[in-house]
Chain A
Amino acid sequence: MIEVFIDIILLSFIAVTAVAILRMTNLFAIIMLFGIFSFLSASLFAVMDAVDVAFTEAAVGAGISTVLMLATIALTKTQKEKVSVSHRHWLPLSVVIVTGAVLVYGTLDLPAFGDPEAPAQTHVAPYYIDKAVEETGLPNMVTSVLASYRGFDTLGEVVVVFTAGVAVLLLLGGKHRISDTGTNEIEKNEHSLILRVVAKFLIPLIIVFALYVQFHGDFGPGGGFQAGVILSAAIILYTLVFGLDAAERVIPPSILRILASLGVLIYTGVGIVTILLGGNYLNYSVLGDSKVAGQHLGILLVELGVGIAVFAVLLVIFLTFAGRGRP
């Protein structure tokens, strides 16, 4: 009962936050509210037993998205949204209300929230829950489904992330012509001693935590996606406190580009190796002496590839945004 209560309260919070995002016009406040929105949804995911998802959402939504959006409004130098009177609001509003009504009508036939007999719970999920631990030797079913049973999906996702990183580089990576974009916020801020000392102390801890998440992801919540995001957040913190030039001395962009491709290459490479060893593409069972050992090794390698790719791509995206404002 208490879980339902918490669930309803969090959902109401989220709804209120979304309306506030819609009604506000100050972009900075909107972005901050969006961070709160992400955190609320992460707590909601945790309440609904999706710990891995909550972890990812907390790291991505509140960390990386917010920073990227702030970088965008710094680059576009827009503080407020212009509210034009010429817009007719009744048309979008009626479209939205009609669509929403149709969708709500559709939910009436859905099984109730948490119903163990729902179709989603009775097809392929019981197989994963029964067999995953025995077939892969990993207690975290999300990791084994992610990297092994649904390895093709995840490969596709990693390639999408990689492609998005390449596209951002193509759009913003080069030298730009307009010189009047002003000085970079990140460059000119001289941060106080306290901030620099605490950052120096924290960044190694964050990196260690990211490695823990990477390699403990087989046993607890975590894995390559989360670890990559946390690791890039550590470097983003470094950039924000010590400046872009210092960060580029620590990790040169050329190395990052190689790392991004390396991550995808590790993933696809594991697939090629399994073919050469006589299995199907991404069938890790042939990698080790026993099936379980092979699965374990394959999942570890693939997660490593995912972690490296996500880390490098997110960092490339951030550094490209940050470097755009450089005079």
Chain B
Amino acid sequence: MIIDILSWILLLGGGLLGIIGGIGMHWFPDVYSRQHAAGTTDTLCAMLILLGLALQAGFSLVTFKLALIFIFLLFTNPTASHALANAAMQGGLRPQLERTAGGDNP
């Protein structure tokens, strides 16, 4: 019962972070700040959901597979964010430093 409640808290928290990340993608003005929002979705959201699912599954083969996915995400998502930001930097996009209203491009 407690495990059930805990896993639901984790799942809902993950879902909430996903929605926040989605809003952030539209909210933020330039590539780098948007990436911050996307990074939240990539890492914490996915991991909370995986943890919640692992608690739901109990101790079984499924949990082991979820743990493998967890490790995989732990390595790949930050790397993907890094590669994306790096590519944007090399492509000549500069971070937007002043506070301006709206506008996609710095």
Contact = CB atoms under 8 A, between A and B. Distances in A.
A94 interface: no
Interface string A174-195: 0000000000000001011011
Nearest to B87: A189
Nearest to B90: A189
Given A194-B82, A195-B83, 7 more contacts: A192-B82, A192-B83, A194-B79, A195-B79, A195-B86, A198-B79, A201-B75
Interface in A193-227: 194-195, 198, 201-202, 205
B59 interface: no
Contacts of B76: 198, 202
A208 to B, nearest CB: 11
A189 B91 CA distance: 11
Nearest to A194: B82
Interface string B80-100: 001100100010000000000
A192 B82 CA distance: 9
Contacts of A198: 75-76, 79
A208 B94 CA distance: 40
Interface residues of B, number: 8
Nearest to B83: A195
Interface in B51-88: 72, 75-76, 79, 82-83, 86
Nearest to B71: A205
Contacts of A194: 79, 82
A194 B86 CA distance: 11
Contact of B82 (A195, A202, A205): A195
A191 B90 CA distance: 11
A192 B86 contact: yes
A191 B89 CA distance: 13
A205 to B, nearest CB: 7
User: Which among B72, B83, B86 has the highest number of chain A CB atoms within 10 Å?
Assistant: B83
